[in-house]
């Protein structure tokens, strides 16, 4: 409802009820407003009301200097929420003032209405409420996948794991650009436990193949990697039944929160940057804003839950082999603006991928079977081509062999050698083509 309309409507209703002889308290009860509000409107005459409305029409909003930024972000991402816009403002403006989320919401609604930037329609999902669990009792894990755009407008698919402590709602997220595997899950869980500085008693999972091989009518069969990890970590596992989203509704909401508040409208540069930005978002927004259900700050609740968590002691687990990168046609891998060579023949089409892993100041490149292809010291700056000479094809050796075969096919080999030598000097770039044509001519005779 329009604010001006509400003011005028409230003024008229209060005046009518007061003229009927009702007391201020009775009017407040009937209109479900504060008695002070009734008293304020009764003191207003028509001239004062018109002056107040005029001031309201021309008032300067607290966030008016951010109007262009908010409008542009909504145009780029029409489905964004007011909470997401608030996070963008905090991210892009270090001097953004401490303003309530309600003020930001009101301003976003104002911008949407002013520029006709309305949200697309969304479907409604029905869920059920559950009782709060004790501190340290449970964490929930789920995976998500989302499409992003890079700086060139290309679509990039990213995968992520979210873990949330059920009581405090403290969240952790980690991203990768390759399909989630059991190895990545184990690596991500260790990162989450380190972030939480402890372990819960129970972890809730969906029926994902990275965890569960077969439900087996209740006698669960875990994947081999996860079974070995569970034997080391000794955590209790609770598997959701199929089509039972309420069992892990907290983490499902968190996955949606990551997609809608963090990923939506964000440009992709590389996985390292995305993970760094994700951690900053957790500290800035996800774990520091008041939770919509509990009305508590997750980080403050986590400080209480911390003493109930089991101690975290790192255990040796196999890390993920690396992050997948595409191999270019010239058998190079682009990393942070520099090109690193891989052996000639590695490129087998546009879907060719390799694992890239950073170890301090070194880059290790391996194929998808984890066979090492190259190792380089990381280069600073951008635009450089870093070459391992072992990767380059020795073209001269093949041309030498071809030339030798041609010379041997002639009866006067001394004259033939002189002829091929002149060809190589006169046509150095086309010597191979010349020799192939000569060989073809000889074979047809």
Q: In this structure, what token pair is assigned to residue 304? A: 């209480």
Is the distance from CB of 74 to CB of 111 less than 8 angstroms?
yes
- Cα–Cα distance for residue pair 395/111, rounded to 1 Å: 64
pLDDT tens-digit profile of 233-283? 888 888 876 655 555 567 788 899 999 999 999 999 988 899 999 999 999
- Cα–Cα distance for residue pair 120/110, rounded to 1 Å: 17
DSSP reduced 3-state for 109: helix
Does residue 139 surpass a pLDDT of 50? yes
First to last CA, the chain: 93
Least confident of 62-71, 140-149, 239-248: 239-248
Assigned CATH for 138-308: 3.30.420.10
pLDDT tens-digit profile of 176-235? 987 787 788 888 999 999 999 999 999 998 877 778 777 665 666 777 778 888 888 888
- pLDDT confidence of residue 124: 64
Residue (of 327, 342, 339, 332) closest to 384 by Cα position: 339
Question: What is the arithmetic mean of pLDDT over 307-336?
Answer: 81
Is the distance from CB of 354 to CB of 368 less than 8 angstroms?
yes
- pLDDT confidence of residue 369: 74
Separate counts of helices (H) and strands (E) for the chain: 15, 15
Q: In this structure, what token pair is assigned to residue 43? A: 């003191």
Q: What is the DSSP letter of 66?
A: G
> Which residue did the predictor score with more confidence, 365 or 243?
365
Question: What is the arithmetic mean of pLDDT over 286-290?
Answer: 93
- Cα–Cα distance for residue pair 192/195, rounded to 1 Å: 5
Domain ranges of the chain: 3-57, 64-115, 138-308, 323-391, 395-444
DSSP reduced 3-state for 176: strand
Residue 309's pLDDT band (cuts 50, 70, 90): very high
- pLDDT confidence of residue 1: 45
Is the distance from CB of 174 to CB of 193 less than 8 angstroms?
no
**CB within 8 Å of 78: residues ≥ 6 apart:** 117, 118, 119, 120
Q: Return the number of other C-beta atoms located less than 10 Å from residue 273's C-beta.
A: 13
Does residue 394 surpass a pLDDT of 60? no
pLDDT tens-digit profile of 175-190? 998 778 778 888 899 9
Angle at 184 between CA 220 and CA 335, to 5 degrees: 165
Residue 174's pLDDT band (cuts 50, 70, 90): very high
Residue 319's pLDDT band (cuts 50, 70, 90): low
- pLDDT confidence of residue 273: 92
- Cα–Cα distance for residue pair 321/173, rounded to 1 Å: 19
- pLDDT confidence of residue 314: 87
Q: What is the torsional sign of CA 66, 69, 72, 76?
A: negative
């Amino acid at each position: 409802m329009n604010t001006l309309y509400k003011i005028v409507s409230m003024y008229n209703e209060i005046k009518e009820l007061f003229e009927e002889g009702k007391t201020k308290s009775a009017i407040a009860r009937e209109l479900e407003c504060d008695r002070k509000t009734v008293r304020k409107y009764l003191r207003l005459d028509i001239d004062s009301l018109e002056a107040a409305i005029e001031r309201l029409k021309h008032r300067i909003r607290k966030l008016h200097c951010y109007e262009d930024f908010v409008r542009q972000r909504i145009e780029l991402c029409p489905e964004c929420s007011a909470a997401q816009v608030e996070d963008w403002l905090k991210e892009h403006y270090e001097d953004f003032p401490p303003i309530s989320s309600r003020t930001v919401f009101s301003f976003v609604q104002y911008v949407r209405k002013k520029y006709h930037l309305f949200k697309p329609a969304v479907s409604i999902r029905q869920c059920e409420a559950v009782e709060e669990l004790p501190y340290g009792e449970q964490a929930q894990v789920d995976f998500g996948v989302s499409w992003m755009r890079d700086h060139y407008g290309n679509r990039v698919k990213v995968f992520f794991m979210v873990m949330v402590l059920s009581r405090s709602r403290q969240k952790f997220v980690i991203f990768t650009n390759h399909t989630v595997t059991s190895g990545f899950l184990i690596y991500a869980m260790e990162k989450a436990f380190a972030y939480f500085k402890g372990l819960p008693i129970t972890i809730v999972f969906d029926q994902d193949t990275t965890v569960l091989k077969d439900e087996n009518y209740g006698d669960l069969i875990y994947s081999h990697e996860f079974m070995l990890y569970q034997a080391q970590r000794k955590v209790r596992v609770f598997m959701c039944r199929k089509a039972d989203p309420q069992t892990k509704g907290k983490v499902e909401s968190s996955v949606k929160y990551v997609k809608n508040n963090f990923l939506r409208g964000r440009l992709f540069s590389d996985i390292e940057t995305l993970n760094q930005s994700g951690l900053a978002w957790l500290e800035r927004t996800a774990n520091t804003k008041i939770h919509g259900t509990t009305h508590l700050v997750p980080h403050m609740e986590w400080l209480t839950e911390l003493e109930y968590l089991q101690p975290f002691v790192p255990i040796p687990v196999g890390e993920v082999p690396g992050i997948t990168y595409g191999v270019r046609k010239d058998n190079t891998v682009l990393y942070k603006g520099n090109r690193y060579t891989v052996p000639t023949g590695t490129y087998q089409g546009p879907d060719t991928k390799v694992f890239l892993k950073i170890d301090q100041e070194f880059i290790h490149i391996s194929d998808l079977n984890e066979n090492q292809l190259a190792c380089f010291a990381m280069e600073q700056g951008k635009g450089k081509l870093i070459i391992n000479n072992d990767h380059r094809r020795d073209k001269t050796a093949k041309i030498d062999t071809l030339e030798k075969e041609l010379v041997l096919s002639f009866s006067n080999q001394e004259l033939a050698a002189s002829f091929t030598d002149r060809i190589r000097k006169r046509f150095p770039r086309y010597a191979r083509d010349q020799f192939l044509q000569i060989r073809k001519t000889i074979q047809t005779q």
